[in-house]
């Protein structure tokens, strides 16, 4: 199981990479494995300002649909357009080509609820 130490995680199995005030967000290797073959990623919140914990889209696998939760508050500024034609990138490379959105974080975004790699590993066992 791949859990990069430089990322932060949520108990809902999203990962977040913070660079300045920009956060890149996707689902974890554990999450994609639990979902199985991903066939569609539906995100129509680009340009919207959402709070941490809000649903920003869904991911559809062969047998289920799962909500995607925003780890931090901010404005969704970019969608990974490559997922439209190749949603399987989330299965193949969840921390690279399978990223989902980029968010401009709100000033003073609360990062205290995010988990480090060790805490996320403990969560998933």
**CATH number of the domain to which 50 belongs:** 2.40.50.100
Expressed as residue numbers, the domain containing 92 is 8-110
Q: Which residues contact 82 (CB under 8 A, 6 or more apart)?
A: 89, 97
Q: What is the pLDDT of residues 1-25, one digit of tens each?
A: 899 999 999 999 999 999 999 999 9
**Does residue 64 form part of some domain?**
yes
What is residue 107's predicted lDDT score, i.e. its pLDDT?
A: 79
Asked whether the predicted pLDDT for residue 110 surpasses 90, the reply is: no
* Alpha helices, H only, 23-116: 29-35, 82-85, 89-92
Residue 40 has pLDDT above 80, yes or no: yes
Q: What's the structural domain count of the chain?
A: 1
pLDDT of residue 111: 86
Tokens 């401009």 label which residue?
104
pTM above 0.85, yes or no: yes
For residues 25 and 18, what is the distance between their CA atoms, to the nearest angstrom?
9
pLDDT digits (tens, 9 = 90+) for 59-107: 999 989 999 999 999 999 999 999 999 999 999 999 999 999 999 998 7
Q: In what order do the strands lie in the sheet with 65-69?
A: 38-42, 55-61, 65-69
């Amino acid at each position: 199981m791949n859990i990069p130490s430089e990322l932060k995680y949520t108990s809902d199995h999203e990962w977040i990479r913070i660079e300045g005030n920009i956060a890149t967000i996707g689902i974890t290797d554990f999450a994609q494995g639990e979902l199985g073959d991903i066939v569609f990623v539906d995100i129509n919140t680009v340009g919207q300002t959402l709070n941490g914990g809000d649903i920003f889209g869904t991911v559809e696998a062969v047998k289920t649909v799962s909500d995607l939760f925003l780890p931090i508050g901010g404005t969704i500024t970019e969608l990974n357009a490559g997922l439209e034609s190749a949603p399987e990138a989330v299965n193949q490379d969840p921390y690279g080509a399978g990223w989902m959105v980029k968010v401009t974080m709100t000033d003073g975004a609360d990062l205290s609820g995010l988990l480090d790699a060790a805490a996320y590993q403990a969560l998933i066992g």
